[in-house]
Structure 1
Amino acid sequence: MDGTYKSLRIEKADGIAELVLTGPGKGNAMGPDFWREMPEALRALDADDEVRVLLVRGEGQNFTYGLDLMGMMESLGPLLTGESNLALERSRLLKLIGEMQQATEGMARCKKPVIAAVHGWCIGGGMDLIAACDFRYCSQEAKFSLREVKVGIVADLGALQRLPRIIGEGNTRELAYTGGDVDAVRALRMGLVNEVFPSPEALLTEARATARRIADNPPLVVQGAKQVMEYCADKSIADGLRYVAVWNSAFLQSLDLTEAFSAFAERRPPKFQGR
């Protein structure tokens, strides 16, 4: 367990890192500590060769209430209500938004698979965060809301860019324009989540089981699959095929491949080392 962060906790065991949102704002709201600490934590986990999979979850009754408006007033207030509110304040606000974007960008750029396990509310910045994950599970009481429009903000941390790839243009526009709530049933129907579980406890059990299955696979191959899919997202099929051919030509030969063949021949479970 890593106790150096105020807004999150990291628990690592057997190749799996659980990144737990802890606040300190109500409902694990995202305040200054979160925006400063999340990019740092993600860089450390991405560089840690012992970590093969990340599981993101919230502590307590909710995933996150999103942006901690009161907690951010010290940073945002002078930039929004300053006496001049001209070029200097505009430039500083632009810089602050760019810094906050590194929390979700760091999640998206992580070379390890990232699973989001959502229970309770997932609001605003929480939607930006889970949109940057590889896939999402939730429990049946979970609710989702891209609520920035309700507080006079255009969502600016990645949801408007990533959600159309996940749930389509129409669903994303509806969420962004209305700021309405989506329950677990509709979240599953629109493809926001892969599966819904009957309780937060069942959600965490199954999310951990999925993380375990991923972590038991050759880590460099899993990371290669993620990199290929990210590259292919805005490329033609022909470009994607060429890229994966080059990837396998460069990285197919490995001790893990030898281990896979040996384990098959010896009728035993393989033990992959990421080499």
Structure 2
Amino acid sequence: MDYSTLAVDTDDDGITTLTVTRPRARNALSGQVLTELAHFLSAERPTGVVLTGAPGPAFVAGADIREMAAMTPAEGERFGALGQRVTRLVEEAPYPVVAAVDGYALGGGCELVLACDFAYATRKSVLGQPEVVLGLIPGFGGCVRLQRLVGPAVARELIYTGRHVDAEEALRLGLVTAVFDDRPAMLAAARATLRRIAGNSPVAVSLAKAVLNGVRGRTVPEGLDVELAAFREAFTTDDMREGTEAFLAKRPPVFGRTRHHPAFDD
């Protein structure tokens, strides 16, 4: 599919840099952007994704306020449902998705970051959920995911005040995992991390991601059951045989071409 609001750049390792390309609108999430993101995330099976925005002042400045201002309640609900679908597709993708934040990641942009496996940021980056300033609330998953990441009290303070946090505070809070001086260094680091992940068993990475998502909200015994089921499933895979045999033979493993576990297929 040819995208009008996304740029897709896939290297020889299968790692895709997925860029929102609406720089004049600060890469705001319009219905078109969300629809194209949903299509890519539903149709493609890369090794991993670096999710970023076109260079400028913003990673993704938020949802498109010009579109939302004219929406009826029913239209707002459909728009929110589309945004939630996109963030769930990011969160549940059978491959790692790393946010590369350079500039403002506010509202829907911050919610995209929260749905990724982890995020890198440049020092100029600013994150936040300022929806209350517009008479709105986070609607793409921010009320759910933010408190899981930073804790209920911090999430309430951030959402109720709508205040922004700079890159260093975002790092302290755990919203991002590393901060870089500039965009090239950040993108290079994100790709290097994904290449390192790609050298491991793609099936095992997919299973681990499924467990990490699946144990949320469960008790420890319930979570351990989820983990044990996936641990057992790993023993059924060719990757497990190859990985253990390579270790014992003191040679690098050569994993198969399967990039994700069949359990993720529709």
Q: Normalized against structure 2, the TM-score is what?
A: 0.89
Give the drift of 1:54: 1.6
Q: For residues 5 and 23 of structure 2, what CA distance do their matches in structure 1 show?
A: 6
Q: For residues 255 and 78 of structure 1, what CA distance do their matches in structure 2 show?
A: 51
Superposed CA offset, 1:226-247 (max 9, x none): 1111111111121222222222
Aligned twin of 1:135: 118
Aligned twin of 1:183: 166
In 2, are the aligned partners of 1:25 and 1:31 still within 8 Å (CA)? no
> Which moved further from structure 2: 97-106 or 134-143?
97-106
Give the drift of 1:191: 0.9
Of all paired residues, the percent bearing the same amino acid is 34
Superposed CA offset, 1:180-202 (max 9, x none): 11111101111111111121111
Return the match for 2:233 from 250, 253, 271: 250
* Corresponding residue SS for 1:225: helix
In 1, are the aligned partners of 2:23 and 2:55 still within 8 Å (CA)? no
Aligned twin of 2:25: 26
> Which moved further from structure 2: 217-226 or 24-33?
24-33
| Structure 2: gaps (5+ residues) | 259-266
- 4+ long deviations beyond 3 Å: 90-93, 265-268
Aligned length: 256
Q: For residues 264 and 102 of structure 1, what CA distance do their matches in structure 2 show?
A: 40
Give the drift of 1:24: 5.8
Aligned twin of 1:77: 70
| Structure 1: gaps (5+ residues) | 80-89
Q: Structure 1: which amino acid aligns with 2:32?
A: D
Q: Structure 2: which amino acid aligns with 1:111?
A: P
Aligned twin of 1:173: 156
* Corresponding residue SS for 2:60: coil
Aligned twin of 2:177: 194
In 1, are the aligned partners of 2:92 and 2:210 still within 8 Å (CA)? no
* Corresponding residue SS for 2:244: helix
1:213 matched to 2:196? The reply is yes
In 2, are the aligned partners of 1:149 and 1:179 still within 8 Å (CA)? yes
Q: For residues 246 and 64 of structure 1, what CA distance do their matches in structure 2 show?
A: 38
Alpha carbons of structure 1 residues 30 and 113: separation in structure 2 relative to 1, 3 Å: same
* Corresponding residue SS for 1:117: strand
Look at both structures and tell me which one has the larger radius of gyration over its CA atoms. Answer: 1
* Corresponding residue SS for 1:29: coil
* Corresponding residue SS for 1:20: strand
Give the drift of 1:157: 0.8
In 2, are the aligned partners of 1:25 and 1:68 still within 8 Å (CA)? no
Aligned twin of 1:15: 14
Alpha carbons of structure 1 residues 59 and 91: separation in structure 2 relative to 1, 3 Å: closer
Aligned twin of 1:83: none
Q: For residues 224 and 257 of structure 2, what CA distance do their matches in structure 1 show?
A: 24
